[in-house]
Amino acid sequence: MRGFELDYDHRLQDLIARRTAPVEIKAKSTRFGQATVENQYYQASPIYEVYNQLGKEGSAIRYTVGAMARIDPRYTEITYEQGNRVKNQLDRTLLAKNASCDFEYQGSVTNDTHIKSYSDIDLLAITQRFWTLEPPQKPTHPYEGNPFDDLNEIRSISCDCLESAFPKAKVDSSGSKSISISGGSLSRKIDIVPANWYDTNQYAKMQAKRFRAIQVLDIKLGERVKNMPFFHNYCIMICNKRTVGGLCKVIRLMKSLKYDSDSISLSSYDLAAIGYNMPEPQLTTFPGGEVALLARLKTYLDSLKANPLLCTEMLVPDESRKVFEPGHATREGLDELRDEVDDLVDAVSQNLQKSFTKLFEARLVY
């Protein structure tokens, strides 16, 4: 035993701090016929911080509920507002340089599994000069340019644009796949990801955006990496709807445990994939059912330990690869996750001893 109550007192305070950190926003007002800019702050509404309504419960239970809850939507709106500021600057500059792009967002903010009020977001800068076709599709007018040169040009123009438009911000171009900007007048970190469209055969048939892939430039590997962020989000959202919000709750909880423990080597994408593969009846939740959902997550992780074949066959949501394969999720990482879930279950069970409630039967009122 690690002194669970003390441990989760600390973790609960850390969780509250990252979920409710005040965010500075610029607001325009009019005084004497002139527009001025004022600094204002936004802080989370108690309605989204349900642990505030569980004052009689132990810190492990309050942590579980808070970790599963979605971030206050206003924080998410601010993230998009900050991303749009960057997007608008890039759009004008790239257009003027004859390097026009389509812009899309990807990442945990876009599927509501982020766990911080100040989460960063990926802004895809997708060139309009060319797109790739999945075989056996063939282009009517083959592209005669150099894809790598075109995507590198987007990186270069974007760096110059951001340094000029946001002189007090930090622009970091050291990433292999993205350029990041943070600080100055921006209250969020934005990662700009140069890419091109990749039209899959399914997209050609259905013309549904979720089937349209992208290829991201990796300058260090010297290649373009295929990705399907829109289909990934579609799969997550459909499963989350069928499970009455259970999937996103489980993903947020696992990501919170990774963030707070610093001992889980699985990536956020791995964690989302593991949660997605949890049987839907176990994921399906109900109001106040967070503790019971935690218990079912433990049962699921225990089953993966007992039956390694389940891990071997597990696919990521877009089915582009297996979850557990070289360079991605590992069994060691899964063991680390299960250990953290076990610790939380033990702490929650201690909290529940006062009410003589079993884990699977626990139902909170808030």
Model-wide pTM > 0.95: no
Closest-CA residue to 291 (of 355, 240, 361): 361
Residues 165-198: pLDDT tens digits?
A: 999 999 999 999 999 999 999 999 999 999 999 9
Mean pLDDT rounded to a whole number for the chain: 92
First to last CA, the chain: 30
Residue 46, pLDDT score: 63
Q: Which residue has the higher pLDDT, 360 or 227?
A: 227
Q: Residue 150 corresponds to which tokens in the numbers above?
A: 């075109």
Maximum distance among all alpha carbons in the chain? 72
Q: Is residue 222 a contact partner of residue 148, using CB atoms and an 8 Å limit?
A: yes
DSSP SS3 for 197 = strand
Give 315's Cβ-side CA count (13 Å radius). 7
Element (H, E) at 193: strand 190-199
The C-alpha atoms of residue 337 and residue 267 are separated, in whole angstroms, by 11
Q: Which fold has domain 76-227?
A: Beta Polymerase; domain 2 (3.30.460)
Percent of the chain with pLDDT over 90: 83
The C-alpha atoms of residue 189 and residue 100 are separated, in whole angstroms, by 23
**Phi, then psi, of 37 in degrees rounded to 5:** -115, 125
Residues 274-324: pLDDT tens digits?
A: 999 999 999 999 889 999 999 999 999 999 999 999 999 999 999 999 999
Residue reference for tokens 């060691």: 332
Q: Is residue 294 a contact partner of residue 64, using CB atoms and an 8 Å limit?
A: yes
**Pairing of the two strands 121-133 and 101-106:** antiparallel
Q: Span 242-247, mean pLDDT? A: 98
The C-alpha atoms of residue 97 and residue 119 are separated, in whole angstroms, by 31
Contacts of 32 (CB under 8 A, 6+ apart): none
The C-alpha atoms of residue 106 and residue 118 are separated, in whole angstroms, by 16
Residues 90-108: pLDDT tens digits?
A: 999 999 999 999 999 999 9
What band does 247 get if pLDDT is binned at 50, 70 and 90? very high
Q: Is residue 101 a contact partner of residue 125, using CB atoms and an 8 Å limit?
A: yes
* Lowest pLDDT segment from 1-15, 66-80, 305-319: 1-15
Q: Span 15-23, mean pLDDT? A: 91
Residue 281, pLDDT score: 97
What band does 29 get if pLDDT is binned at 50, 70 and 90? very low
The C-alpha atoms of residue 52 and residue 304 are separated, in whole angstroms, by 34
Whether the pLDDT of residue 3 is over 50: the answer is no
Q: Any alpha helices (H) in 193-245, and if so which ranges?
A: 201-206, 229-242
